[in-house]
Structure 1
Amino acid sequence: MSRKPSIQSMADQLGLSKYAVSRALSGKSGVSPATRERVLELAKTLGYGLPAPKAAGPSPVSASSFVLICINQTNRGDASYWQRVLAGLISGCSERGWHHAIVSQPVSFPAATTLSPQELIAPHLDWGSCLGIIVMGAYPYPVLQLMVRTGKPLVLLDHHEPLLSCDEVNHANIDAGFLIGHHLLAGRKCRRLVFLGDDGRSTSFAERRIGVRLARDRYGSPETELQEWELPYEAGGWLEAAAERFGRLAPGERPDAWIGANDDIAMQWMQRLRQIGCSVPEEAQVAGIDNVEGAALSSPRLTTIHLGKEELGRRTVETLERRIAHPGTPIERIQMGAVLIPRDSA
């Protein structure tokens, strides 16, 4: 008969303290969801006898239960994208009878402090009633670590953090870049493209750039040229920087297609091109990614990639619901599909 593995031996295998392993096995607080998941998975593998699950009882969701929604301060006022995603989150919570609390988090916290993660993130809330945390958009890794330390289920929305073991729901950004690149190269026969982006803005911009590169590799010819203009979109002043760079190009060097990392970049640049005498789409075609409402109203109407924003929010709430119901299951990294919307600009 095989011997039951000791808590100390499990702690040694996982690189954890005996105390942390004991708390995780007993279902007590004091360890993160990611740590608890690692301990339980090893315990199952080694045949460690876990306590029998408690009989089903009333739902832990009470009248005061809420989901904490954290949104980066720089994204809070974006009505065309983030406010629509937020509307999907709120709708998803309402369908389940959950309340929600929204906080606009700073991107850093004091390094030396005696405050708990809960006190740093939202000291005014009753954390005992918090069902979980949804983080909208990009946050630095140390801030996300702080959120994990609250012990609440955590889901990242429109952000990828490979160092964290938590659920993520994202747009298929690489597919989006690939689709728009395919459209311009194979459909519109463009041969000199520029991708306008800012990798410091978010992971999604970098992934869209990768998708465009893949389309160039698949559908481009030996004569195809893809330039990538890294612009200070997040910091501001990017439009002037791009116009100045464009002004240094000889007429024969000018691109015949421009891809904005999002629709806002594409629409602003399209208008600037027209102001400096470059007609769209006759001399240069312009496309974006996101399909914000203004894309169908621009002049000319913007060709873009549709990424469901309200749907992204609702799917994130579904993912949090699953995590609450099944805390020990493997993490999920979900991608929502992308659809080409061809219009007048390309």
Structure 2
Amino acid sequence: MDQDHPQSTLESGAETGTVLMRDVAELAGVAISTVSRALTQPDRVSKKTRDRIMAAAAQIGYTPNAVAQNLRRGSSRMMMIVLPGPLMGGASQIVPAVLEGVAAALTAEGFNLMVANLDRSEAVERHILDLAYGGTIAGALTLASFLPAQGARSLTAAGLPLVGILQDVSDQGVPSVVTNDRAAMAAAVQQLLDLGHRRFMYIAAPPGNYHEYQRFGGVLDALREAGLDARAVTRVEAGDSFLMGLQAGAIAAERFAAMAPQGRPTAILGSSDDAAIAFIGAAARLGLRVPEDVSVVGFDGSAVGAHTIPPLTTIAQPARAMGERAAYMLLEQARGGALPPLVTLDSRLILRGSIAAAPAI
């Protein structure tokens, strides 16, 4: 038996199923510390001993715990992505595609992905910061505009590579990947203007939200370009929570139905697909026809939009591409590379059956 202390406590809980590092040590006839060195610093163990340890590990099906090894080495192959609490109001439709892109890029480079859900509670923020400062993760991606901070600790001050997705947090020193929300919405409004629409209803996202500012800004840009002012658009507020997105669409339909036909908007602009789809459903219950009575456009490009009646015209965000780009930016930052403060990807307008020429009223 090797002459290390045979009962060393460097076990660290590494295990697969019920097989522990000490089981490998017992079978190989060495100390636990020798097994640990053979797995993490093989050059410090003789080839004969190392081969015996690896044979024992293979015999009983032992696989080292990667996180435990990373903590001992002072390095990590784990990245974290921080989600912005409840995923409603459109985000729930595209975040899975963003995660697919992130995971694909990180896996290709030998990294794993940990998901943290930021609900702005003190305990959750503390946990995220513990991970950032404790060596568990090698970097972080964030879909939240609000970045965890407690006292002297913050995600931006943890010294880790950090990249934002969907939200522009470059003003906080965090390189970000976003889509051209403003220009994309302006292009959708121009499409409706070309169809003869001059009165619009906009179903808003919560105030102060980055996407709300960009998307409604695009509406106003297109109206100004056409010689119209803000009076050409009626806003329906969604309230302070994205949970109101679906409800806002239904409220917008009720307000629309209550208007005199001669003064109604002829086109609805949803700040999300959720809001637009809710409007279509509520409008049908109220006896209104889409697009004969009113055209409807959403924003996000969620898959469900293709299956509404009629199918929803929407602005599709390149969600998977955003995830991939952000992940590769994170890896480049981890290697010491310089990044642009903001990368903007183009969304595209998908024309379907929910829009038509403005009705003659």
> In the alignment, which residue of structure 1 is the partner of 2:160?
152
> In the alignment, which residue of structure 1 is the partner of 2:85?
73
Q: Hey, what's the Cα distance between the residues in 2 that align with 1:243 and 1:228?
A: 12
Once the two structures are superposed, the pairs formed by residues 306-321 of structure 1 within 5 Å of their partners are 306-321=316-331
Q: 1:335 and 2:344 equivalent? A: yes
Aligned length: 277
- Of 153, 174, 191, 1:166 maps to 174
| Aligned partner of residue 168 in structure 2, secondary structure | coil
Q: Hey, what's the Cα distance between the residues in 1 that align with 2:163 and 2:81?
A: 10
Contact 2:129 2:149 in 1 (8 A): no
Q: Hey, what's the Cα distance between the residues in 2 that align with 1:242 and 1:81?
A: 23
Structure 1 residue 294 displacement after superposition:
0.8
- Of 173, 177, 190, 1:182 maps to 190
Q: Hey, what's the Cα distance between the residues in 1 that align with 2:158 and 2:230?
A: 54
Residues 210/222 of structure 1: CA separation in 2 closer, same or farther (3 Å cut): closer
Residues 180/333 of structure 1: CA separation in 2 closer, same or farther (3 Å cut): same
> In the alignment, which residue of structure 1 is the partner of 2:213?
206
| Aligned partner of residue 177 in structure 1, secondary structure | helix
Contact 1:165 1:331 in 2 (8 A): no
Residues 164/126 of structure 1: CA separation in 2 closer, same or farther (3 Å cut): closer
| Aligned partner of residue 329 in structure 2, secondary structure | helix
Structure 1 residue 229 displacement after superposition:
2.0
Q: 1:101 and 2:110 equivalent? A: no
Q: Hey, what's the Cα distance between the residues in 2 that align with 1:125 and 1:223?
A: 45
| Aligned partner of residue 130 in structure 1, secondary structure | coil
Q: Hey, what's the Cα distance between the residues in 2 that align with 1:147 and 1:320?
A: 14
Please list the CA deviations of residues 219-248 of structure 1 after superposition, one character each: whole Å capped at 9, or x if unmatched: 355898122222225243424533443344
| Aligned partner of residue 80 in structure 1, secondary structure | helix
Q: Hey, what's the Cα distance between the residues in 1 that align with 2:299 and 2:248?
A: 18
Residues 124/222 of structure 1: CA separation in 2 closer, same or farther (3 Å cut): closer
Please list the CA deviations of residues 95-114 of structure 1 after superposition, one character each: whole Å capped at 9, or x if unmatched: 1111111111222437xxxx
Residues 125/323 of structure 1: CA separation in 2 closer, same or farther (3 Å cut): closer
Once the two structures are superposed, the pairs formed by residues 272-311 of structure 1 within 5 Å of their partners are 272-311=282-321
Q: Hey, what's the Cα distance between the residues in 1 that align with 2:283 and 2:298?
A: 15
Contact 2:249 2:276 in 1 (8 A): no
| Aligned partner of residue 93 in structure 2, secondary structure | coil
Once the two structures are superposed, the pairs formed by residues 24-103 of structure 1 within 5 Å of their partners are 64-75=76-87, 80-103=93-116
Q: Hey, what's the Cα distance between the residues in 2 that align with 1:153 and 1:308?
A: 23
* Structure 1 unaligned regions, length at least 5: 1-60
Q: Hey, what's the Cα distance between the residues in 2 that align with 1:120 and 1:223?
A: 45
| Aligned partner of residue 156 in structure 1, secondary structure | strand
RMSD: 3.0
Please list the CA deviations of residues 59-114 of structure 1 after superposition, one character each: whole Å capped at 9, or x if unmatched: xx99941111111221289652111111111111111111111111222437xxxx
Contact 1:199 1:206 in 2 (8 A): no
Q: Hey, what's the Cα distance between the residues in 2 that align with 1:255 and 1:244?
A: 13
Structure showing greater radius of gyration is 2
> In the alignment, which residue of structure 2 is the partner of 1:266?
276
Contact 1:201 1:234 in 2 (8 A): no
* Structure 2 unaligned regions, length at least 5: 1-72, 356-361
Q: 1:228 and 2:228 equivalent? A: no
| Aligned partner of residue 104 in structure 2, secondary structure | helix
Residues 87/202 of structure 1: CA separation in 2 closer, same or farther (3 Å cut): farther
Residues 224/217 of structure 1: CA separation in 2 closer, same or farther (3 Å cut): same
Identity %: 22
Q: Hey, what's the Cα distance between the residues in 2 that align with 1:245 and 1:279?
A: 15
> In the alignment, which residue of structure 1 is the partner of 2:260?
250
Contact 1:103 1:122 in 2 (8 A): no
Contact 1:289 1:305 in 2 (8 A): yes
Contact 1:262 1:289 in 2 (8 A): yes
Contact 2:249 2:277 in 1 (8 A): no
Q: Hey, what's the Cα distance between the residues in 1 that align with 2:347 and 2:236?
A: 24
Letter matched to residue 69 of structure 1: I
Structure 1 residue 201 displacement after superposition:
7.2
Contact 2:147 2:154 in 1 (8 A): no
Structure 1 residue 258 displacement after superposition:
0.3
Letter matched to residue 70 of structure 1: V
Q: Hey, what's the Cα distance between the residues in 2 that align with 1:321 and 1:223?
A: 44
